[in-house]
Amino acid sequence: MRTLSNWGRWGAEDELGTINLITEAKRQAAARLVRDGVSVTCARPIATDIAPDTTFQPMRFMVDSGEGRDTASPERQLERRGASEFIGMVFHGYTITHVDAPSHYFWDGRLYNPWP
């Protein structure tokens, strides 16, 4: 860990880590590689079913579905113009992922770079 560590490489206040290597020149070079202009999603569907590869089941609750709006006062109808839902999930496991960050990794009891 010590021989490959980047802690301190970009100064004591750095919060980006190796993202510092993605310079303006690197972004321009990457943009020159675009040929078709097709966008590609990285999104994955959120499955709320229990399955063999489900580590933690996501929770989905309708907070405001719109029911009862036909009997609400005009003022209340203006306040409640859309549906709302709550989705809660643990972002580690086999079916859900996220881009991790140095701030999620501890070494010798300290965060990245090394913050106390």
Q: Which domain holds residue 25?
A: 1-44+105-116
Beta-bridge mates of residue 64:
84
Say which residues have a Cβ less than 8 Å from residue 16's Cβ, sequence separation at least 6.
10
21/59 same-domain check: no
> Per the structure, how many domains does the chain have?
2
Q: State percent of the chain over pLDDT 70.
A: 83
Q: Do residues 34 and 54 both lie within one domain?
A: no
Do 90 and 52 have their domain in common? Answer: yes
| pTM of structure | 0.50
Instruction: For residue 61, name the pLDDT band (cuts at 50, 70, 90).
Output: confident
Is the pLDDT at 42 greater than 90, yes or no?
no
* Spatial distance between the Cα atoms of 96 and 53, rounded to a whole number of angstroms: 10
Kindly state whether residues 54 and 75 are assigned to the same domain: yes
> Given this model, what pLDDT does residue 98 score?
63
CA of residue 5 relative to chain centroid, distance: 24
Regarding whether 83 and 51 lie in a shared domain, the answer is: yes
Q: How far apart are CA 113 and CA 14, in angstroms?
A: 7
Residue with tokens 């990285």: 42
